[in-house]
């Protein structure tokens, strides 16, 4: 991905003066990509922190809400 950005920077360097593109176009593109990467990392961190562990057992669920299970006296 870094190679792609470097290629784009080289392309914009040549074309921005020839075609009169906005001087800030590449900067805005880089800032947008940086924002995207930071957002992806934040999303992964949040998912990692709050992801469920799967289903709980009946005992774990009862303990979680403060109930006690009846015992089987066999």
User: Which structure tokens are listed for 16?
Assistant: 């921005």
pLDDT digits 0-9 by tens, 19-46: 556 667 778 888 999 999 999 999 999 9
Mean pLDDT in the chain? 80
Q: Is residue 4 part of a domain?
A: no
Domain, as residue range, for 25: 21-73
Count CA atoms closer than 13 A to 26's CA, side-chain side.
17
Please list, in sequence order, all residues whose beta carbon lies within 8 angstroms of the beta carbon of residue 13, skipping any fewer than 6 positions away: 26
Residues 6+ apart with CB under 8 A from 26: 8, 9, 12, 13, 16
Position 17 pLDDT exceeds 80: no
With 0.95 as the threshold, say if the pTM is over it.
Answer: no
Write the Ramachandran bin of 15: left for phi over 0, alpha for psi from -120 to 50, otherwise beta: alpha
| Domain count along the chain | 1
Domain membership flag for residue 60: yes
């Amino acid at each position: 991905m870094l190679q792609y950005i470097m290629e784009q920077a080289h392309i914009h360097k040549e074309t921005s003066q020839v075609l009169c593109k906005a001087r800030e176009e590449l900067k805005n593109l880089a800032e947008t990509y940086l924002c995207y990467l930071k957002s992806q990392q934040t999303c992964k961190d949040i998912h990692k922190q709050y992801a469920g562990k799967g289903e709980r057992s009946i005992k774990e669920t009862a303990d979680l809400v403060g109930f006690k299970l009846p015992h089987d006296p066999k």
